[in-house]
Structure 1
Amino acid sequence: MGYRCQVCGKEAKTAKGMAEHLASTTYLYEKHIDWVQANGLRFAKLTGAGSYGPLLELVEQKCKSD
């Protein structure tokens, strides 16, 4: 079981790994930001404060792959 990015297809073994990918990636950077914002999260708050809580919830809900 792992997580697959809904924007670029990258896979991660943990939800935190996927959240870090979404928050810090340079690959399709604008598309990742758009995706995070479209899901009601403020990107700057996530990266600036280092808080992945809301993003982890989103990853658990939408990126989980069995």
Structure 2
Amino acid sequence: MQQILALYFNDLGVAFNQITSMFISIFFAYITWNLIEKPFIDIGKRLIIKNTNQSKFYVKDLKKSLNL
């Protein structure tokens, strides 16, 4: 990000480059968190809960079939 800003806005100085790149990075971090990372974390949580529930039923059925 800083290299792109330095390429196009070289005459505005280092402080402008750092501050602007920080705000642009925060903006893109917010977008990727809400559109990509958070939904996939939720999917992962649902898969873990689903697999945990299935494994409980599997152990319960296995105990029944073995008369334990």
- TM-score, shorter chain, exceeding 0.5: no
Point out the structure with the larger helix share. 2
Taking structure 2 as the reference length, the TM-score comes to 0.25
Point out the structure with the larger strand share. 1
Indicate the structure whose relative CO is greater, using CA pairs within 8 Å and at least 6 residues apart. 1
* Larger CA Rg, structure 1 vs 2: 2
